[in-house]
Amino acid sequence: MKSDLRNRLAEKMAGEITLSDSPGKALKKWRMSFNIPQAVLSERLDVSPSVISDYESGRRKSPGTAVVGKIVDTILSIDEASGGKYIKKFAKILYSDVDDDVIYDIHDYPSPVPLARFAELIQCQTVCGSLSQSIYGYTVINSLNAITQLSSNEFNRIYGWSTERALIFTDVTSGKSPMVAIRVTPFKPRVVVLQGIEPALVHPLVPKMAEKDRITVLCTGMDVDKVVHILRDEQW
C-alpha cells in the first residue's frame, strides 16, 4: 500500500476524530466504515472491548492525539492485513475529482444523524426498511449521469468517506436502475432516497433488491434544489 496514501488517509481520520465535537462518535464512524468489530479492534490494541465501547459512547474521556493516532494506525493495519479493501476504496476518493454533472452535493457528518429526522426534513415516504437508524452523510446524485458515465469502480466515489449514508438519486422514473447499479458494486449505502417519484410508482423489484442488502428505501417529491438547500442549511 502506498505510504503517501496511508499517511493522507490516517491524517484525514485522526484530524476528524480529534477536532470533532463528539470524538467518540467520530471514532465509531471510522471503525464502522472499515467494518471492524469492537472486539477485533480492542484485541489488536491489547485493551478490553469495554475501553473502545466507553470511548465511542462518551463514557470515557476523549482519547488524546497519541491514542487517536494509535487507534487509526491499528484500523488501517487491520484493513491492510485483509487485502486493503477499504483503503483502496478511500484511495479513489482521495485521488479523484467529483464531477458536478454527476454529484450535485456531498456531505459527511462528524456525528450520527437520526434517519427519521433526515427523512422528515426532505419530506420522505418509506418504501421499505427501517427509519430507526443513523447516517453519517449524504450524496445527491444525478441518477442518469451516474449510471451512464461512471464505471463500477468510479461509482464508489459517491460514498464520500462513509457508506453509512443516504444516496439521493434525482429524477428517477422507477428506481430500478439505481438499485441495480448498487447491487453490482461492492459497497452498499445505508439508505437510498428516490427523488421525483411516489412510492406507488416504484418498481416492484426495488424493495426486493433493497431487502437483500438491508437498505432502507425512501421517496421524496421535493424539488432537487430545495433538497440540497435544506440539507446544506440544517445544523445537526
Domain borders along the chain are 3-93, 98-233
Each residue's pLDDT tens digit, 189-214? 999 999 999 999 999 999 999 999 99
What fold is seen in the domain 98-233? 3.40.1390
The residue-averaged pLDDT of 26-51 equals 92
Q: In what order do the strands lie in the sheet with 216-220?
A: 103-114, 134-142, 166-170, 191-195, 216-220, 124-128
**Half-sphere CA count of 210, side-chain side, radius 13 A:** 26
The tens digit of pLDDT for each residue in 160-198 reads 778 889 999 998 999 999 999 888 888 899 999 999 999
Which has the closest alpha carbon to 198: 215, 219, 168, 217? 219
**pTM, two decimal places:** 0.66
For 3-93, CATH gives 1.10.260
More confident position, 38 or 7? 38
Residues 6+ apart with CB under 8 A from 123: 220, 221, 222
pLDDT for 223 = 94
